[in-house]
């Protein structure tokens, strides 16, 4: 175990232990070279003597270090220092998915699907680089304080899988695929199986296979059918249950082929929860009988003894138990179980059919009521005459469209009761969702805060999330020395305190260096250890370093994360953070800065940094009236794109559909460029985009077996036509 204050590799200062696992301990550390906090995973002593494990650990961790994706915990460094083997990773403030499930019991359908999509996107990125996780489980999925979902522990997974079933599968047996349990070859589809088990746990609050021993659980993965998740979660949509079933097929060939297919179906389930679009293969339909040659049989016999000799006792015991309980040993038991399973499936299918029938009846009744309501309102307003004549359907559609396009202003819910908050939101066609409780200076039981500020213009039917006040509570001002201003502010606000951030130049030591580096906490008022009540104001003073006057060198922050960039720019007091989509840097990193790096500028003057985000992040941002004004100002301009699209991978000269996605007024706008005919690549575009919008993405789909399947996507740019 490392001690606080130790320096590893003359660079990383150990600040404290923050977690432990089966093979490694996790420490918070400070990287003095890049002046940032990191997480350092250090192998436990018992694994440091296994040279094969160490070699694989290094190679796989280095492969993981090449992965950069917003849903993967970034690996910064891999190395060893006097027998201490470590991985340096991005420090994520948050909790594991396992802790989150334990806290909530089970997750809502929308929340579970969103988490599954983000995990799938991270795994898809890893698979595209040839990296298989092999240990996907809620303990290796982190939900950050800002709601981002990240997969971690890629480096150790592969190394452990080489160390037999006892070091990997047995530690995570609840989520292991049948092929991993057998000790056989595992690939991307093993990750898909584990994701399916994880999704099962999210929607039900339990794992599908459990037992007193790891071997007993492993056997269930091999032999038993899982209890349908809808048994424990009655509101589980049919499509999501089918996705879980397809991910967790015991036969590798019957699972999803790629993570991309999982993502597609998960997104589809959000818009068509009861849809029957998930295609499950029937048993053995795809199986082919092949005769093994004498030569192949000889090779198998030669390899078998060596392979068996390498197995550890745990594997041997597992195989003995499997062979003792194999269905083939008792045909009568096997037939009886098959009959029971068949009856269970038949009853399950009947329940699903009944559920779909009830859904259809509800929709029909609802539609009839809606028609009656429209007629009543139409007659009252004069749109529909009393003689039975009706207004043109076109007018009704225009009215509906107009209502959908208009933005509404977010009301101020803070200080209101929950009932008052719901009434205010409902009056402007907004939804509400209570997100939890927290200490505040608001009266207990009233709204303490809301996620979208009052006065923001948003689309109708947006959901406002809010916290309920637990009342003022006594707290102690924590120690903030050595923390960045951003970390300290978040920590104080999480305690229910109101934070007044100020910046001040630091006093100097005898050598002329600042006592506190720029961007780090100088002091707080009241000071650490003082008692306060939630809602009280704490002044947080952040150091600006040395006062060099009105001309200082601007540091380079391009490529840094937003928080690291703001800390590095601690000397500057007026920083605006803008967001944009870019293919040049990873999501969350700085794309550009103004003034540019290494120029000289006044630290009191305005500065702007632009941070890379996804198109989904931009689309989710609330819109303001200024967005509409900017778009109107651009009206009348013509923006063109004449780029060429290279031949997409896998194109078979079939019918193509090209779709253009652009962000207009903060919302993704889609349009079809061409559809239904083969194209000759490279294909030259001749597009007119939205006025004032300089970029977009073209998605290429090819018609295969009657359905359009995505082949690729191309970022494109538009220029204002002269």
Q: Model confidence over 539-583: pLDDT tens digits?
A: 999 999 999 999 999 999 999 999 999 999 999 999 999 988 887
- How much is the pLDDT for 367? 62
Please answer whether residues 74 and 41 qualify as being in contact, where contact means their C-beta atoms are separated by less than 8 angstroms.
no
Cis omega (within 30 of 0) for bond into 595: yes
Cis omega (within 30 of 0) for bond into 682: yes
Strand partners, 716: 696
User: Which residues in 209-344 belong to E strands, given as ranges?
Assistant: none
Please answer whether residues 612 and 589 qualify as being in contact, where contact means their C-beta atoms are separated by less than 8 angstroms.
yes
402 phi, psi to nearest 5 deg: -65, -40
Q: CA 718 from chain center: how many Å?
A: 30
**Sheet with strand 141-144: strands edge to edge:** 94-96, 141-144, 149-151
Q: CA 124 from chain center: how many Å?
A: 12
Close Cβ partners of 702 (under 8 Å, ≥ 6 residues apart): 648, 650, 651, 652, 654, 655, 656, 657, 708, 709, 711
Close Cβ partners of 273 (under 8 Å, ≥ 6 residues apart): 109, 237, 238, 239, 240
Distance CA 624, CA 691 (A): 18
Could you tell me the CA-to-CA distances from 122 to 62, 113, 116, 215, 452 in Å, in that order? Answer: 17, 14, 10, 30, 28
Distance CA 227, CA 244 (A): 11
Distance CA 627, CA 38 (A): 38
User: Which residues in 197-313 belong to E strands, given as ranges?
Assistant: none
**Scanning the structure block, which residue is given the tokens 């060099």?**
548
- DSSP reduced 3-state for 78: strand
Active site residue 135: yes
Q: CA 719 from chain center: how many Å?
A: 33
Distance CA 646, CA 688 (A): 20
Q: Are strands 575-580 and 24-31 parallel, antiparallel or unpaired?
A: unpaired
628 phi, psi to nearest 5 deg: -65, -40
Rounding to the nearest 10 degrees, give the CA dihedral for residues 400, 406, 412, 413.
30
Burial letters 461-473, b for 16+ CB under 10 A, else e: ebebebbbbbbbb
Q: Which DSSP helix (H) or strand (E) runs through 57? A: helix 51-65
Q: Which structure tokens are listed for 315?
A: 């594997």
Distance CA 425, CA 295 (A): 74
Q: Are strands 537-543 and 84-90 parallel, antiparallel or unpaired?
A: unpaired
Could you tell me the CA-to-CA distances from 393 to 238, 367, 380, 538 in Å, in that order? Answer: 34, 16, 17, 59
Q: Model confidence over 216-249: pLDDT tens digits?
A: 888 899 888 899 999 999 899 999 999 999 999 9
Please answer whether residues 97 and 115 qualify as being in contact, where contact means their C-beta atoms are separated by less than 8 angstroms.
yes
Please answer whether residues 152 and 140 qualify as being in contact, where contact means their C-beta atoms are separated by less than 8 angstroms.
yes
Kindly report the three-state secondary structure assignment for every residue of 512-567: CCECCCCCEEEEEECCCCCEEECCCEEEEEEECCCCCCCCEECCCCCCCEHHHHHH
- DSSP reduced 3-state for 570: coil
Closest CA to 610 of 626, 629, 630, 590: 590
- Calculate Rg over the CA atoms of the chain: 30
Angle at 315 between CA 313 and CA 320, to 5 degrees: 95
- How much is the pLDDT for 424? 92
Catalytic residue among 31, 135, 191, 517: 135
Could you tell me the CA-to-CA distances from 318 to 182, 251, 330, 613 in Å, in that order? Answer: 8, 19, 19, 48
Kindly report the three-state secondary structure assignment for every residue of 342-370: HHHHHHHHHHHHHHHHHHHHHHHHHHHHH
Q: Which structure tokens are listed for 517?
A: 């580096």
> 484: which DSSP letter?
B
- What residue ranges of the chain have pLDDT lower than 70? 22, 56-57, 59-60, 63, 155-171, 184-185, 282-406, 616-636, 666-668, 722
Rounding to the nearest 10 degrees, give the CA dihedral for residues 687, 688, 689, 692.
130
Distance CA 375, CA 367 (A): 12
- DSSP reduced 3-state for 443: coil
Burial class (CB in 10 A: 0-12, 13-18, 19+), 339: exposed
Question: What does the longest C-alpha to C-alpha distance in the chain come to?
Answer: 94
- How much is the pLDDT for 260? 94
- DSSP reduced 3-state for 270: helix
Distance CA 141, CA 19 (A): 14
Q: Are strands 431-438 and 457-458 parallel, antiparallel or unpaired?
A: unpaired
Residue 270 has a CB neighbour count (10 Å cut-off) of 15
Half-sphere CA count of 329, side-chain side, radius 13 A = 7
User: Which residues in 323-446 belong to E strands, given as ranges?
Assistant: 408-409, 431-438
Distance CA 552, CA 394 (A): 63
Please answer whether residues 687 and 638 qualify as being in contact, where contact means their C-beta atoms are separated by less than 8 angstroms.
no
- How much is the pLDDT for 365? 60
Residue 514 has a CB neighbour count (10 Å cut-off) of 19
Q: CA 708 from chain center: how many Å?
A: 26
Please answer whether residues 673 and 687 qualify as being in contact, where contact means their C-beta atoms are separated by less than 8 angstroms.
yes
Q: CA 61 from chain center: how many Å?
A: 22
Distance CA 607, CA 594 (A): 6
């Amino acid at each position: 175990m490392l001690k606080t204050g130790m320096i590893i590799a003359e660079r990383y200062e150990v600040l404290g232990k923050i977690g432990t696992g089966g093979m490694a301990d996790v420490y918070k550390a400070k990287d003095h070279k890049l002046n940032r906090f990191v997480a350092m995973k250090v192998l436990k002593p018992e694994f440091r003597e296994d040279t094969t494990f160490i070699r694989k650990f290094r190679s796989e961790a280095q492969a993981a270090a090449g992965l950069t994706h917003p849903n993967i915990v970034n690996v910064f460094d891999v190395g060893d220092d006097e027998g201490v083997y470590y991985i340096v990773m991005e420090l994520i403030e948050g909790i594991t998915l396992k802790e989150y499930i334990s806290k909530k019991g089970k997750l809502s359908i929308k929340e579970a699907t969103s988490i599954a999509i983000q995990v799938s996107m991270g795994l898809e990125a890893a698979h595209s680089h040839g990296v298989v996780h092999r240990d996907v489980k809620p303990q290796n999925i982190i939900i950050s304080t800002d709601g981002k979902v990240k997969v971690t522990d890629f480096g150790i997974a592969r190394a452990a899988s080489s160390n037999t079933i006892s070091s990997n599968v047995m530690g995570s047996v609840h989520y292991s695929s049948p092929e991993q349990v057998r000790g056989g070859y595992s690939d991307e589809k093993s990750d898909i199986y584990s994701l399916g088990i994880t999704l099962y746990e999210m929607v039900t609050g339990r794992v599908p296979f459990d037992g007193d021993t790891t071997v007993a659980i492993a056997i269930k993965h091999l032999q038993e059918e899982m209890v349908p998740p809808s048994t424990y979660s009655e509101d589980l949509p049919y499509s999501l249950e089918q996705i879980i079933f397809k991910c967790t097929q015991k036969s590798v060939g019957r699972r999803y082929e790629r993570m991309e297919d999982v993502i597609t179906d998960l997104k589809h389930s959000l818009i068509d929860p009861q849809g029957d679009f998930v295609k499950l293969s029937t048993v053995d339909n795809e199986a082919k009988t092949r005769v093994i040659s004498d030569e192949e049989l000889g090779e198998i016999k030669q390899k078998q003894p060596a392979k068996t000799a390498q197995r550890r006792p745990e594997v041997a015991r597992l195989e003995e138990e499997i062979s003792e309980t194999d269905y083939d040993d008792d045909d009568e038991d096997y037939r009886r179980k098959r009959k029971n399973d068949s009856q269970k499936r038949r009853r399950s299918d009947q329940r699903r059919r009944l559920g779909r029938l009830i859904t259809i009846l509800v929709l029909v009744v609802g539609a009839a009521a809606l028609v009656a309501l429209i007629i009543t309102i139409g007659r009252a307003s004069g749109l529909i005459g009393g003689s039975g004549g009706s207004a043109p359907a076109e007018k009704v559609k225009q009215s509906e469209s107009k209502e959908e396009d208009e933005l509404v202003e977010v009301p101020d819910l803070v200080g209101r009761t929950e009932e008052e908050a719901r009434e205010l939101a409902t009056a402007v066609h907004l939804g509400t969702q209570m997100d939890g409780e927290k200490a505040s200076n608001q009266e207990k039981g009233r709204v303490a805060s809301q996620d979208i500020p009052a006065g923001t213009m948003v689309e109708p039917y947006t959901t406002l999330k809010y916290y309920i006040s637990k009342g003022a509570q006594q707290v102690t001002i924590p120690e903030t020395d050595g923390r960045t201003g951003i970390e300290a502010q978040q920590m104080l606000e999480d305690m229910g305190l109101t934070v007044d951030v100020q910046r001040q130049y630091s006093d100097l030591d005898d050598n002329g260096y600042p006592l506190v580096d720029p961007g780090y906490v100088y002091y707080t008022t009241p000071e650490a250890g003082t008692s306060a009540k939630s809602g009280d104001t704490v002044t947080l003073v952040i150091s600006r370093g040395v006062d060099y006057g009105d001309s200082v060198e601007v540091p380079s922050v391009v490529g840094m994360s937003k928080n690291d960039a703001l800390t590095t720019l601690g000397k500057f007091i007026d920083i605006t953070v803008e967001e944009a989509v870019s293919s040049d840097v990873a999501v969350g990193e700085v794309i550009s800065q103004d003034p540019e790096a290494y120029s000289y500028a006044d630290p009191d003057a305005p500065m702007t940094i632009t941070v890379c985000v996804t198109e989904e992040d931009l689309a989710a941002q609330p819109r303001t009236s200024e967005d509409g004004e900017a778009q109107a100002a651009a009206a009348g301009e013509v923006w063109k794109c004449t780029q060429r699209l290279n031949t997409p991978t896998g194109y078979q000269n079939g019918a193509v559909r090209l779709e253009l996605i652009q962000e207009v007024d903060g919302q993704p706008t889609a349009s079809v460029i061409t559809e239904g005919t083969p194209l000759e690549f490279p294909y030259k575009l001749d597009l007119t985009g939205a006025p004032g919008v300089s970029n977009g993405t073209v998605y290429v789909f090819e018609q295969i077996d009657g359905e359009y399947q995505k082949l690729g996507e191309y970022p494109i740019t538009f220029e204002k036509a002269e």
